[in-house]
Amino acid sequence: MIDLLVAANRGVANGPFTKDRIAQMSADYTAILTKGDAIHPVKKRKDGTAHRRQSYPTNLLRRLREHTGDVLRFLSDQEVPFTNNLTEQAVRMPKVKQKISGCFRTFDGAAAFCTIRSYLETLRKQRIDLLQALVQSFRGETPDPAMGY
């Protein structure tokens, strides 16, 4: 599965996939899930119902099957990144601050921190000089990030 997804990501980097190529990738993805189901079948009780607790590989296979559209969305939508690294990076800073200081003192303080952090992260992604943006903000000339929707 890893090889398929990495190869798909490399292919998409060279340009958008055709509908036929997306269909082939989707078929390959489903075939890999089917092989995985044969190796890691769902544990059943004597009455035929599934056990509540399944193995980690079985649970992963179930989630990959249930969320196929989300996993493969990067093939058809150029705006969707292959990884969620940007999302994880955006969350990392508040978690580090929380770890260092132990906690946020108030909910309002946490909300203000997240608002400022989100605003600066949006400006950074749009390659706007953060120092200049902060200087403008303190002068009352807050730069508005371009909204992409």
Predicted confidence pLDDT, tens digits, the chain (149 residues): 999 999 999 988 888 888 999 999 999 999 999 999 999 988 887 787 777 788 899 999 999 999 999 999 989 888 788 877 766 666 666 666 666 566 667 778 778 777 888 888 888 888 888 888 888 888 888 777 766 54
Q: d(Cα 42, Cα 62) in Å, to the nearest integer? A: 9
* Rounded Cα gap, residues 26 and 28, in angstroms: 5
Identify the pLDDT of residue 5: 93
**Of 27, 53, 76, which residue constitutes the final position of a domain?**
76
Question: In this predicted structure, what is the pLDDT of residue 95?
Answer: 65
> In the chain, how many domains are there?
2
**Are 71 and 99 members of one domain?**
no
- Is residue 122 in some structural domain? yes
Domain co-membership, 105 together with 64 = no
Nearest Cα neighbor of 27 from 4, 3, 7, 59 is 4
Q: Residue 68: which domain range?
A: 2-76
Residue 147, in any domain of the structure: no
Measure the CA dihedral 20/26/27/30, to 10°. 180
Question: Rounded to whole angstroms, what are the CA distances from 95 to 77, 98, 115, 129, 133?
Answer: 30, 5, 14, 24, 24
Give the Å distances, CA to CA, from 92 to 2, 95, 144, 149: 25, 5, 24, 25
Q: What is the pLDDT of residue 17?
A: 87
Q: Contact 8/75 with Cβ under 8 angstroms?
A: yes
* 65 and 131 inside one domain: no
* In a shared domain, residues 130 and 111: yes
pLDDT of residue 149: 45
Specify the pTM. Answer: 0.58
Domain shared by 72 and 114, yes or no? no
